[in-house]
């Protein structure tokens, strides 16, 4: 006979811990200042009562901190802790049979004086043991309780000593945990800075800035006016497509044509030439000093610069000749270019990650990232990460963030859900999504519920883009300005992070390459473009209002509270976000029909929003400045897409009277 190695006297069972991702294989995600709410099933045999705590610590600390858990019924326990530093936190649950709580519970139920007297003596022993674990004033108070419990007089009256709330607090503080159970696996949460959760991105091509100054190819020094313009719209991240030298061989011409003229700049994603590769700047963009100056000007304007990382090469990239072992070669000895049949990308050579020299390849790509970190870059938008090994991303992101924990990574992977989710689990801070192609109320509602009401919310931070240089969705091609306005509001309020391919979106560019195509006509990927951003029909003012609303309302800076509301019209979608204390309540109503006025009755959950059903409440449309009095749960809305396809309401639960001047109505 062999007894178990573990202590069989540890009787508390801990299971069903949430949140955790893939049984703890990957960390959950939070940003500085957020809370981690933890739940678990905790129970024991028999009738004894138990107590539980969540224990947590930053990976760099040796000492565990803890917060109490409370029972929510049916053996489910809940507790939460704050995360206040960037980096990795560990958390676990500890539970124990609490003999004092069990004793106190039974003491309350005892009726016979003799039984009560015996119980008081037993309780005094437990309190005395706790006094031995305490010190100072607490130890003195516990010894006083021991004396009182062992005193003389009516046991029924002395029972009140055992039920004293101060005694309960002291005994919880010095509980006997010698036989406590600790959850089998330490779980983890990776904490990043706020921009991982809340950000507004604006993409533009620096080389097009020169067109405004009479040049065929712009540089960083030409872009300062553009930076000021973007900052005036209250965006906070500038995203630049690849800024490296562009290959000459097989360079693509306008509209992705196979033949380029001598002045055609080619695609920035065809990286590498005689001027250098991934650690070089395109000569016409300027020098590294010019780039750093560009970043400094952006920072002074409240903007952060994100650059594109595309781990691929043009045929002219120095890697092709210096490291031919990093590429796949065809039977004729030529390097295999990128393909996604029937599409061919003759100007791009992908890396061969199954090469025997994969270690040197990984090390070099890591050095590319750290090179740009050394230049001051703190955000990378990664092109097509789903075409590189998962193991590589887990390693390289981990290594970069180990040395530079404030670095953020955005995954540009329009792939199958499992692939997109795996990349997020591996370390990407944010991810592109299917929002670009979700247009109906049913599609939007179902997709957002998947992102915010399942375990996906613990590791996948969506970044909504209504357009990109590669994608001009059909809805934007034919819906005119109302379509751009409604998609802007949806992207910016459904998700805490969103972005636009800026000038094209701002000017409602809707010309497709051909019918049925999602490619732009005269795409900026293959040529420089002149954008008259001062045109009267520009959406800049509308974009500014939306971004200012996001910045001024904390409810819109997270996805956790998103809830959809019933509307009796399939062309109108309504939803809300709130802060935890309901001090900020935002209700968004959007007309999804870009062509016709739509109306309907919106139903709000009065009790959930703590609205008095017997009194009116104010709805302040932050887009137009208009204010409305709503009554009860159902209220009428009507939206003309030609005027504004959306309301972004801030809900106030009280209205101004002669006795209440909290705010102006």
Instruction: Report whether 21 contacts 47 (CB < 8 A).
Output: no
**Residues 383, 399: Cα–Cα separation, whole Å:** 19
Residue 175 contacts residue 138 (beta carbons within 8 Å): no
Q: Which residues contact 559 (CB under 8 A, 6 or more apart)?
A: 451, 452, 457, 461, 462, 495, 496, 577
Q: Which residues of 449-472 are buried (b: 16+ CB within 10 A; e: fewer)?
A: eebbeeebbbbbbbbbbbbbbebb
Average confidence (pLDDT) over 563-572? 98
pLDDT computed for residue 85 by the predictor: 97
What is the per-residue pLDDT across 383-441, written as a single tens digit (0 to 9) for each? 999 999 999 999 999 999 999 999 999 999 999 999 999 999 999 999 999 999 999 99
- 537 labelled catalytic: no
Q: Which of 222, 383, 509, 593 is catalytic?
A: 383
Instruction: Kindly report which listed range (82-86, 152-156, 576-580) carries the lowest average pLDDT score.
Output: 152-156
pLDDT given at position 638: 98
Each residue's pLDDT tens digit, 112-124: 988 999 999 999 9
Q: Say if residue 665's pLDDT is above 70.
A: no
Q: Give residues with Cβ within 8 angstroms of 206, minimum separation 6.
A: 218, 219, 220, 222, 223, 240, 243, 285, 294
Q: Please tell me which residue, 346 or 301, carries the higher pLDDT value.
A: 301
CA dihedral sign of residues 441, 488, 640, 619: positive
pLDDT in tens, 318-362: 999 999 999 999 999 999 999 888 878 889 999 999 999 999 999
Which tokens belong to 318?
Answer: 């120095």
Instruction: Determine what percent of the chain is predicted with pLDDT higher than 70.
Output: 98
The structure tokens 């007297």 sit at 117
Residue 152's nearest CA partner among 105, 103, 113 is 113
Q: Taking 80 as the threshold, does the pLDDT of residue 5 lie above it?
A: no
Half-sphere exposure of 474 (CA within 13 A, CB side): 6
The CA-based angle 480-486-488, given to 5 degrees, is 105
> Tell me: the pLDDT tens digits for 194-235?
999 999 999 999 999 988 777 889 999 999 889 999 999 999
* 661 pLDDT more than 60: no
For residue 564, what are the β-bridge partners? 575
Which backbone phi and psi does 55 adopt, to 5 degrees?
A: -105, 140
Give residue 3's pLDDT. 66
CB count, 10 Å around CB of 633? 17
Q: Taking residues 369-380, report their average pLDDT.
A: 97
Catalytic residue flag (residue 383): yes
pLDDT of residue 485: 98
Mean pLDDT, rounded, of the chain = 95
Q: What is the pLDDT of residue 660?
A: 47
Count Cβ atoms below 10 Å from residue 139 Cβ, excluding itself: 16
pLDDT computed for residue 655 by the predictor? 53
Assess whether pLDDT exceeds 50 at residue 658. no
Q: Looking at 98, 192, 316, 412, which residue is catalytic?
A: 412
Alpha carbon distance 493, 44 (integer Å): 45
**567 CB burial (10 A radius; 0-12, 13-18, 19+):** buried
Task: Give the model's pLDDT for residue 6.
Answer: 78
Q: Which residues pair with 588 in a beta bridge?
A: 575, 648
Mean pLDDT of the region 549-570: 98
Supply the pLDDT for residue 664. Answer: 44
- Of the listed ranges 290-299, 583-592, 648-657, the one predicted with least confidence: 648-657
With 0-12 CB in 10 A as exposed, 13-18 as middle and 19+ as buried, what is 643? exposed
Average pLDDT of 285-302?
97
């Amino acid at each position: 006979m062999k007894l178990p190695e573990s202590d069989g006297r540890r009787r508390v069972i801990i299971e069903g811990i949430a949140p955790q991702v893939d049984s703890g294989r990957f960390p959950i995600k939070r940003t500085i200042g957020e809370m981690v709410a933890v739940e678990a099933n905790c129970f024991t045999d028999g009738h004894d009562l138990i107590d539980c705590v969540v224990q947590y610590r930053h990976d760099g600390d040796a000492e565990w901190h803890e917060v109490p858990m409370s029972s929510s019924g049916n053996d489910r326990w809940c507790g939460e802790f704050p995360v206040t530093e960037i980096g990795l936190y560990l958390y676990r649950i500890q539970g124990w049979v609490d003999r004092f709580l069990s004793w106190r519970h039974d003491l309350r139920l005892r009726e016979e004086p003799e039984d009560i007297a015996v119980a008081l003596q037993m309780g005094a022993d437990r309190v005395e043991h706790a006094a031995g674990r305490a010190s100072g004033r607490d130890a003195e108070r516990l010894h006083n309780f021991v004396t009182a419990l062992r005193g003389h007089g009516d046991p029924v009256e002395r029972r009140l000593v055992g039920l004293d709330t101060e005694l309960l607090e002291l005994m919880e503080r010095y509980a006997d945990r010698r036989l406590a159970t600790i959850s089998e696996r330490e779980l983890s949460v990776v904490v990043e800075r706020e921009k991982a959760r809340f950000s507004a991105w604006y993409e533009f091509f620096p080389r097009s800035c020169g067109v405004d100054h009479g040049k065929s190819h712009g540089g960083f020094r030409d872009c300062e006016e553009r930076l000021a313009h973007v900052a005036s719209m209250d965006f906070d991240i500038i995203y630049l497509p690849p800024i490296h030298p562009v290959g000459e061989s097989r360079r693509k011409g306008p509209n992705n044509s196979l033949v380029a003229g001598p002045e055609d700049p080619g695609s920035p994603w065809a990286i590498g030439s005689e001027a250098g590769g991934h650690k070089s700047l395109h000569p016409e963009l300027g020098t590294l000093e010019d780039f750093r100056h560009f970043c400094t000007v952006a920072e002074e304007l409240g903007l952060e610069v994100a650059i594109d990382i595309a781990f691929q090469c043009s045929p002219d990239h120095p890697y092709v000749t210096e490291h031919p072992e990093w590429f796949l070669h065809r039977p004729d000895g030529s390097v295999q270019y990128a393909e996604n049949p029937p599409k061919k990308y003759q100007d791009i050579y992908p890396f061969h990650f199954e090469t025997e020299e994969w270690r040197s390849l990984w090390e070099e790509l890591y050095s590319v990232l750290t090179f740009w970190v050394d230049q001051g870059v703190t955000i990378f938008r990664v092109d097509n990460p789903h075409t590189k090994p998962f193991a590589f991303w887990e390693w390289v992101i981990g290594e970069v963030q180990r040395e530079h924990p404030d670095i953020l990574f955005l995954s540009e992977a329009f792939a199958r859900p499992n692939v997109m989710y795996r990349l997020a689990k591996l370390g990407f801070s944010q991810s592109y999504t299917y929002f670009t192609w979700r247009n109906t109320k049913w599609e939007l509602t179902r997709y957002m519920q998947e992102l915010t009401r399942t375990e996906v919310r613990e590791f996948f931070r969506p970044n909504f883009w209504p357009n990109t240089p590669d994608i001009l969705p059909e809805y934007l091609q034919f819906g005119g300005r109302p379509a751009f306005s409604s998609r802007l509001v949806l992207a910016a309020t459904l998700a805490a992070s969103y972005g636009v391919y800026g000038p094209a979106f701002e000017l409602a560019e809707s010309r497709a390459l051909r019918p049925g195509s999602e490619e732009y006509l005269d795409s900026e990927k293959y040529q420089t473009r002149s954008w008259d951003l001062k045109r009267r029909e520009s959406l800049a003012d509308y974009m500014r209002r939306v971004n200012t609303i996001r910045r001024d309302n904390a409810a819109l800076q997270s996805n956790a509270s998103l809830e959809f509301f019933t509307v009796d019209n399939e062309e109108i979608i309504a939803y809300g976000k709130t802060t935890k204390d309901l001090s900020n309540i935002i209700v968004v109503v959007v007309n999804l029909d870009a062509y016709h006025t739509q109306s309907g009755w919106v139903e709000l959950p009065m009790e959930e929003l703590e609205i008095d059903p017997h009194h009116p409440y104010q709805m302040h449309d932050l887009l137009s400045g208009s204010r409305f009095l709503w009554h009860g749960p159902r209220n009428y809305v009507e939206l003309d897409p030609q005027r504004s396809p959306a309301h972004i309401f801030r809900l106030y639960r009280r209205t101004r009277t002669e006795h209440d001047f909290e705010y102006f109505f």
